[in-house]
Amino acid sequence: MWTSGRMSNAKSWLGLGMSLYFWGLMDLTTTVLSGTPTPPGKLEAFLSDKPQSHSRTKRSWVWNQFFVLEEYTGTDPLYVGKLHSDMDRGDGSIKYILSGEGAGVVFTIDDTTGDIHAIQRLDREERAQYTLRAQALDRRTGRPMEPESEFIIKIQDINDNEPKFLDGPYVATVPEMSPVGTSVIQVTATDADDPTYGNSARVMYSILQGQPYFSVDSKTGVIRTALMNMDREAKEYYEVIIQAKDMGGQLGGLAGTTTVNITLSDVNDNPPRFPQKHYQMSVLESAPVSSTVGRVFAKDLDEGINAEMKYTIVDGDGADAFDINTDPNFQVGIITVKKPLSFETKKSYTLKVEGANPHLEMRFLNLGPFQDTTTVHISVEDVDEPPAFEPGFYFVEVPEDVAIGTTIQIISAKDPDVTNNSIRYSIDRSSDPGRFFYVDITTGALMTARPLDREEFSWHNITVLAMEMNNPSQVGSVPVTIKVLDVNDNAPKFPRFYEAFVCENAKAGQLIQTVSAVDQDDPRNGQHFYYSLAPEAANNPNFTVRDNQDNTARVLTRRSGFRQQEQSVFYLPILISDNGQPVLSSTGTLTIQVCSCDDDGHVLSCSPEAYMLPVRLSRGALIAILACIFVLLVLVLLILSMRRHRKQPYIIDDEENIHENIVRYDDEGGGEEDTEAFDIAAMWNPREAQAGGASKTRQDMLPEIESLSRYVPQTCAVSSTVHSYVLTKLYEADMDLWAAPFDSLQTYMFEGDGSVAGSLSSLQSATSDSEQSFDFLTDWGPRFRKLAELYGASEGPAPLW
């Protein structure tokens, strides 16, 4: 039977009928009654619940747990306990073996005595107990003397671990101005020691830094505010140090600390205030709408949503001319232009601006009011403005048959500045590329310059410009929309070529064709067309026209018995009239073929000599057609190549240029109809060409003009080769309608004929102004009106200049 070193308590020992061997009674009694681990080896106990006379199998092992303190710091192995078998006679014949957790590494056993020692430092926080197995063997035979059994070695705790804040350092937030006792955060410290053994793991909390602002609950670790009216604007951040101490906070306990960073969050406890009670601003009168004039700022010590501002204009004479908006990023009030300004109308404005917090807290209303006002003075500065049109848009309706030069609208603009400079009008030609309109430069009268055609352009959108005389850079513009009204200037006509047929077996009154018409005009009451036979066909015996009164007409036969051999085609003229004022009409021709038909009216043949076309072409015919097409293509390419080759001489290389001379002439050209002026000799020497016996003498060349030819070099000679070359090229160019114009140098010595305006040259003119008449200028249109007024006939005395 085995014995071990400890039983659970004294009562259990006393009830077992113990026999004590080898050790003194006092030592055993003291050990048992004290409740401490009994030193192994000092006790042997035989367990027997009945008298010895009753025979039964006895337990060979009597086990209790072994206990050993952690953190042993001695130099010798730590004695744990002793194992002993009742078969051990002390002669060393029994060999004790230890196995299991830590056997041979942490714990060893004396195989002769059964003493167990710990050979390594034990830490309960790393491992609280070890489970091992013991066995007694016969040293000589190795035969087990006792069955193998398990036992436990428990590590007994000591206070060797301080409390630790595993989640530290902490960050917390609490609103400013919070009442005393407001919970901020709870901190928790843990102690690795055994909480079931003594006070080693009993933790108490205290505050080392952060008073008098905060306090901590000693048992729960809850941090609370301890001071009222803590203001974020005065101090925002706090660093609080909390201590956790074990052993219930008693002297000798281990302690750990952590840091809690507490931030006071903002509340709306500060009203906004303008640092300036008066603002002075200025703005140009030309500033566009929504442009910025200036900024105002109401300072608020709060932040975030509590510092948000809303600015409004609450009073002043500029509430209708200016507006104010809040910049959400910087919380400033931006004053902008609400409508166009005019220095000439009003030179200054006064605004009363209010800045207020939109988000209020009821418990802080007593700290208000949470709004403030300031005064803003805005001066309008004068600028040189472009002319302004009144109205700013023109809409004009004009009939398309209006005469050229008719005034259709007076465009009016004025200088808005005090100086009121003179205005000059013009049309932006990019808006009127066809030059249909003209505006008087001084009066602004808009006139037609070309005939208008509604069917070509029904709308014209032009831009009229107004420029200051003293400052041409100041230009105003106004859009003018012109609607061209329709007049009845287009006769109705057939929309397409009509071709019908009539059967030889047709009866009188049979419908041949239904015709319709189109008219480019767009009358206000809608289109209505009238159909009838043309006057020359009014008594047509073959066909008649019936008006359907819906802008269509029917063509009917008047007789029967049509024959192809007699007449195969009929041309029926139809008169189409509209309902416009004046009434316009046109004649359309309906082509009617006589055809042979079957009894159902299906056409069999419309030719006097009926024949059947082949259903399909043979392969040989197709090849012949393709060959012809190929030959035609080759001929076309050959002709184009020859034409291109013929045009190449027009481009004269530098090496082929025979003469490079500068010709100076001081006379005036004669226009397009001057065919007598060209003389190749005159290109070099007009005097020599005239003296050479030319058939036509220049009668219009006066001696004064002729004398200028002395400046032309006289040493140049013209060869017949050049003469022939130029004439040949001119002829080719005139005959070739697709050739580019060929440049030539000509001298003109007389005035041409055929111009509508007549001669404008002073050559051979009278020496007195009184002999000349400029009345014809009045017939040239509105563009020459000013010239006609300057040079027209006058009954008064001659001007002094």
CA distance 232 to 150: 67
Instruction: Tell how strand 394-399 and strand 475-485 pair up.
Output: parallel
In 3-state terms the chain splits into helix, strand, coil percentages (rounded to 5) of: 15, 30, 55
**Residue 513, C-beta contacts closer than 8 angstroms, at least 6 positions apart:** 498, 500, 554, 555, 590, 592
600 and 503 together in one domain:
yes
Structure tokens at 656: 């082929």
Q: Residues 301-328: what's their mean pLDDT?
A: 92
| pLDDT at residue 716 is higher than 80 | no
Q: What percent of the chain has pLDDT over 70?
A: 73
The region of weakest confidence among 93-107, 451-465, 725-739 is 725-739
366 and 408 together in one domain:
no
DSSP reduced 3-state for 81: strand
pLDDT for res 783: 77
Structure tokens at 170: 């902490």
253 and 320 together in one domain:
no
Q: What percent of the chain has pLDDT over 90?
A: 35
| Cβ contact 405:373 at 8 Å | no
Q: Which residue has the higher pLDDT, 667 or 303?
A: 303
Q: What is the pTM of this model?
A: 0.43
The region of weakest confidence among 29-43, 278-292, 345-359 is 29-43
Whether residue 108 lies inside any domain: the answer is: yes
- Single out the residue of 357, 269, 265 nearest to residue 307, CA to CA: 357
| pLDDT at residue 43 is higher than 90 | no
* 427: phi then psi, degrees, rounded to nearest 5: -110, 135
| pLDDT at residue 376 is higher than 90 | yes
Q: Residues 750-761: what's their mean pLDDT?
A: 52
The C-alpha angle with vertex 55 and arms to 53 and 59, in degrees rounded to 5, equals: 120
469 and 540 together in one domain:
no
pLDDT for res 801: 35
Structure tokens at 301: 């010590």
The region of weakest confidence among 47-51, 269-273, 401-405 is 47-51
| pLDDT at residue 83 is higher than 50 | yes
Most confident option among 60-74, 182-196, 312-326: 312-326
pLDDT for res 678: 46
Q: Residues 236-259: what's their mean pLDDT?
A: 89
Domain end (from 605, 624, 659):
605
CATH number, residue 579: 2.60.40.60
Structure confidence at residue 709 as a pLDDT band (50, 70, 90): very low
- Single out the residue of 289, 288, 283, 276 nearest to residue 333, CA to CA: 276
148 and 174 together in one domain:
no
Most confident option among 157-161, 321-325, 384-388, 657-661: 321-325
Question: What mean pLDDT is reported for the chain?
Answer: 77
Q: For residue 797, which amino acid is it?
A: P
| Cβ contact 222:250 at 8 Å | no
Whether residue 670 lies inside any domain: the answer is: no
The region of weakest confidence among 351-360, 415-424, 435-444 is 415-424
DSSP reduced 3-state for 663: coil
Q: Residues 641-654: what's their mean pLDDT?
A: 61
The region of weakest confidence among 252-266, 418-432, 655-669, 698-712 is 698-712
446 and 542 together in one domain:
no
Structure tokens at 714: 């006289």
| pLDDT at residue 363 is higher than 60 | yes
The secondary structure of residue 15, as a DSSP letter, is T
- 708 φ/ψ sector (left φ>0, alpha ψ -120 to 50, else beta): alpha
Q: Which residue has the higher pLDDT, 627 or 721?
A: 627
Structure confidence at residue 350 as a pLDDT band (50, 70, 90): very high
Domain end (from 327, 356, 381):
381
| Tokens 């609280």 -> residue | 128
Count of domains in the chain? 5
| pLDDT at residue 395 is higher than 90 | yes
| pLDDT at residue 681 is higher than 80 | no
Structure confidence at residue 13 as a pLDDT band (50, 70, 90): very low
CA distance 325 to 768: 77
pLDDT for res 699: 40
Whether residue 102 lies inside any domain: the answer is: yes
Whether residue 214 lies inside any domain: the answer is: yes
Structure confidence at residue 608 as a pLDDT band (50, 70, 90): low
| Cβ contact 439:464 at 8 Å | yes
What string of DSSP letters covers 556-591?
A: EES-----TTT-SEEEEEEEEE-SSSS--EEEEEEE
CA distance 30 to 23: 12
Structure confidence at residue 127 as a pLDDT band (50, 70, 90): confident
**Residue 166, C-beta contacts closer than 8 angstroms, at least 6 positions apart:** 188, 190
401 and 472 together in one domain:
yes
**Residue 237, C-beta contacts closer than 8 angstroms, at least 6 positions apart:** 261, 262, 263, 264
Structure confidence at residue 685 as a pLDDT band (50, 70, 90): very low
Q: Residues 155-177: what's their mean pLDDT?
A: 88
Structure tokens at 483: 């609607």
The C-alpha angle with vertex 640 and arms to 638 and 643, in degrees rounded to 5, equals: 110
How long a stretch of residues is the chain? 801
Whether residue 125 lies inside any domain: the answer is: yes
CA distance 528 to 525: 9
Structural domain of 127: 66-156
| Cβ contact 574:590 at 8 Å | yes
pLDDT for res 555: 94
CA distance 464 to 477: 6
Residue 350, beta-bridge partner list? 377
Q: Residues 595-615: what's their mean pLDDT?
A: 71
Structure tokens at 191: 């102690």
pLDDT for res 666: 54
Domain end (from 350, 381, 412):
381
**Rounded alpha-carbon distances, angstroms, from residue 659 to 647, 683, 710, 716:** 21, 11, 20, 10
505 and 576 together in one domain:
yes
Q: Which residue has the higher pLDDT, 421 or 438?
A: 438
504 and 592 together in one domain:
yes
* 742: phi then psi, degrees, rounded to nearest 5: -100, 125
